[in-house]
Homo-oligomer: A and B are copies of this chain.
Amino acid sequence: MSTHIAIDIGGTQMRAAAFPPEGYQPIKVQRVPTQTPGAFPQERLIQLIETVCPPDKKITSIGVAAPGPLNPKTGVIYTSPNIAAFRDFPIVGYLQEKFHVPVFLDNDANLAAVGEWQIGAGQGHDHLIYLTISTGIGSGIISDGHLLQGEQGMAAELGHVTVMPDGPLCGCGHPGHLEAIASGTNIARWIKEQLNQGAESSLQNTEKITAKTIAKAANHGDQLAGAAFEQAGSYIGLALASFLHIFNPSMVIFGGGVSKSGHLLLDPVKRAVKKHVINPKYTDNLTITTADLGDDAGMIGALILARTATTK
């Protein structure tokens, strides 16, 4: 049987799953924390893959979704702000040497876009933007039925677009990126700053302030929590209007943990988009929605990448 392995490397955990030749139901899934003191994540990745391999060890291909920037053509992860151990890591060569099968790599958000486009919320939309709002902000773009990759495969980094030149510093070190203003981390940072400045909120007694606890407070009527989503959503909408002018898509899909807050985020996004587009035609036939595949989108995309490349 032709078994494909799909891997999703995240800042918190690495996941591996074995898939049959057809369909999207995994045979086996395993996960380990990405960072463990004293252990090389590269070796733990190998062990992780081995635990999902079939008993006969026979696999056909491996697809890897990893945070960018990376080069899918050379198979190297360049910088990974949240996963320092994988800096300048030739992951494709490394895994090919260990497993002796073709290995394919792409940006996790690119692959999530492919997953949503092929079997998720974006089916039938050949011009779509997938935006994942979680710890950081990533994206994948389908343009005229093709995944946008760029010359070295480093395209579609919409989180690292400057929306406020004098804004807060991004994790990448540059000021005013969309990610620095509207990611989950930065929504929480903004709340903490407001609380430190004496703002009133039910979150004052919350031990762990995250996008999730802020969303909960907002849904219970906490005004500061609501304002945090309002601000993040309005900046995402401002940037999204620019992205509509750039790509003119028929669908925008929001994935990632923060987008699970639903209307709390999407309502201000939609209002800001409407306010900032230069022509209503950009939104007339546009659907803005949330992802179908959840946390599995990147892994499903990695599977599609590996399968497509080995059955061409």
Q: Which A residues form the contact surface with B (CB < 8 A)?
A: 69, 71, 78-79, 126-127, 143-144, 146, 148-158, 160-165, 172-174, 238-239, 241-242, 245-250, 276, 278-279, 281-282, 285
Q: A69-B281, A164-B165 are in contact. Are A158 and B127 (CB under 8 A)?
A: no
**With a CB–CB cut-off of 8 A, which chain B residues contact A155?**
143, 245-248
Contact for A279 among B78, B151, B239, CB less than 8 A:
B78
- Within 8 Å by CB of A146, from B146, B245, B282, lies B146
Please indicate which of the listed interface residues A126, A162, A164, A173 has the most CB atoms of chain B within 10 Å of its own CB: A162
Task: Determine whether the beta carbon of B150 is less than 8 Å from that of A279.
Answer: no
Q: Is the CB of A127 within 8 A of B150?
A: yes
Kindly state the separation between the CA atoms of A276 and B69 in the bound complex, as whole angstroms.
Answer: 15
Secondary structure at the A interface, as helix, strand, loop or mixed, is loop
Given contacts A146-B146, A160-B278, A164-B165, contact A152 B238 (CB under 8 A): no
- How far does the alpha carbon of A161 sit from the alpha carbon of B247 in the complex, in Å? 11
Residue on B with the closest CB to A178?
B242
Complex Cα distance, B149 from A148, in Å, reads 13
Contacts of A281 in B (CB 8 A): 69, 71, 78, 152, 154
- The reply to whether A238 and B150 form a contact with Cβ atoms under 8 Å apart is no
Partner pick for A250 among B144, B151, B248, CB 8 A cutoff? B151
Smallest Cβ-Cβ distance to A235: which chain B residue:
B165
**Which of B79, B151, B242 contacts A160, CB < 8 Å?**
B242
CB–CB B242/A151 < 8 A: no
Q: Which of B79, B143, B173, B242 contacts A143 (CB 8 A)?
A: B143
